[in-house]
Structure 1
Amino acid sequence: MNTLDKSYWQNRYIKNEMGWNIGAPSRPLQTYINQLSDKTIKILIPGAGRAYEAEYLWQQGFKQVYVLDFASEALDHFKARVPDFPESQVIIQDFFTLKDQFDLILEQTFFCALTPHLRTHYVQQMHQLLKPDGQLVGLLFNFELTQVGPPFGGDLETYQSLFEPFFKIKTLEPAINSIKERQGKELFFIFEKKS
């Protein structure tokens, strides 16, 4: 298996090898964003890649949006598309070293790109990065966890046992508005930080 480090991801973006990239905001996340009324909340999108959800949030008037990726190539593409996005809100850094707090974190193909042995660390870091009552919202792939990836899959029961120690599970169910290629393969979730 490849070492899924900074150079691995940088090379994937340079070579345009991005099978996960749909070139637009994910429909389930766009639908969720459309229901948010408080545009002052502080939002993080980790492993943002080309950050189409961040672009959509910015266009909708959310000004406290932060994008994080350690592959600068991906975020350069985002900055070219959204030139008025503040440079100070573009974070080129390892997710596991980030120290800040957010009201909302959006998950879109970041969790599935991590090697599975990092999943517990991911959950703990998400818990640390959220303010009290903060929410982690997004999509998880719903297919068998294989040794080869990314993407790495999982199932509802596994995700429940992984997240429940740190989060109140408000929603964890099959996504009803996935793109055709992902229908039946995505779970939409809303997890709230436990104190």
Structure 2
Amino acid sequence: MAAGEQPARTLTEHFGDQPFSNHPERWNSLWQDEWTPWDRSGPSMALSDLLEQHTELFDLPGATTRKTALVPGCGRGHDVLLLAAFGFDAYGMDVSTLAIERARKNADAVEGDPVYTQRGARAGTVHWITGDFFKGDWGREIGINAGRFDLIFDYTFYCALPPPAKPAWAQRMVELLAPGGKLVCLEFPAKKPSSEPGPPWAAPPYSYVAYLGRPGQEPVRDEHGGVVESEVQEPRQTDGGLKRVLHTTPQRTHAAGTSDGEIVDRISVWEHI
């Protein structure tokens, strides 16, 4: 297939009959084909607005402080560069070696773009990691162990995971988030029914509550693997999860998160209970 040419199949067909252990190779093959329909061609303005408008939730880096941020499944790294502009030492991680190559090239290509203008007293550093989010070796290699990220941003990573992988996703988020840190989730696709397979898999707001509130545990799921909303319970301190401290509709988001001109994405902020 020629570079950039769209394959005749969908993402669902590309991953449909593959075990989760094969997904890394399948993502890498899409980068090789240069068919990346999930790429938004720029950073999340929902994240930018959140950091600017809800400073009470974020102890943003200052001239003498350094804080770390992680974007798992970073792709071309748009949001990694945005977080660095806000002063975070930002780490973009992807399981695809080709994705990280594209991220490095993208960082060079957008240098000087005003969307990445430095905010505040300092600009953060940018780091690229090829690694498996669910394993700890990449953290040890860069000298940042579990519980060391002050901000984690998840946009198209959660929805890229099939339902059986989501309990481990939640457990890993809890492990990687520093005390006092914040996990930010741009919830997409928030309105997709669980009966429609992924990726992207359905990501209704209540599913984040179910998984992050009780990390590592299986919620009650329907016949399609989606979380049953009526069975979702609020997190308890004894479950060792995260609690939601903000849930709102962003003022701006990517076109993929709109329907008939209405924003259907939601953005949430989480912290340790």
Q: TM above 0.5, one fold?
A: yes
Amino acid at match of 1:62: G
Q: Which range moved further: 21-30 or 1-10?
A: 1-10
| Residue matched to 2:3 | none
Matched, 1:189 2:268: yes
Question: Aligned match of 1:112 in 154, 159, 164?
Answer: 159
The structural deviation recorded for 1:2 is 4.3
The structural deviation recorded for 1:48 is 0.5
- Where do 1:166-181 residues align within 5 Å? 166-181=241-256
On the 8 A contact 2:244/2:270 being kept in 1, the answer is yes
- Where do 1:16-165 residues align within 5 Å? 16-34=34-52, 37-39=60-62, 40-58=66-84, 60=85, 62=87, 64-83=89-108, 89-98=127-136, 99=139, 100=145, 101-141=148-188, 142-143=190-191, 144-146=193-195, 148-165=197-214
On the 8 A contact 2:77/2:106 being kept in 1, the answer is no
Sequence identity, in percent? 23
The structural deviation recorded for 1:164 is 2.2
Distance in 2 between the 1:61 and 1:186 partners? 23
Aligned pair in 2 of structure 1 residues 193, 30: CA closer, same or farther (>3 Å)?
same
Distance in 2 between the 1:110 and 1:118 partners? 11
Q: Per residue, is there more strand in 1 or in 2?
A: 1
Number of positions where the alignment pairs a residue of Structure 1 with one of Structure 2 = 192
TM-score using structure 2 length: 0.64
Structure 2: gaps (5+ residues): 1-15, 112-123, 140-144, 215-240
Distance in 1 between the 2:24 and 2:179 partners? 31
The structural deviation recorded for 1:126 is 0.4
SS state at 2:67 partner: coil
TM-score using structure 1 length: 0.87
On the 8 A contact 1:146/1:152 being kept in 2, the answer is no
Amino acid at match of 1:182: G
The structural deviation recorded for 1:17 is 2.0
SS state at 2:153 partner: strand
SS state at 1:95 partner: coil
Larger Rg: 2
The structural deviation recorded for 1:52 is 0.3
On the 8 A contact 1:137/1:191 being kept in 2, the answer is yes
Amino acid at match of 1:190: V
What value does the CA root-mean-square deviation take over the aligned residues?
Answer: 2.3
Aligned pair in 2 of structure 1 residues 190, 153: CA closer, same or farther (>3 Å)?
same
Distance in 1 between the 2:125 and 2:25 partners? 25
Structure 1: gaps (5+ residues): none
Distance in 1 between the 2:208 and 2:173 partners? 14
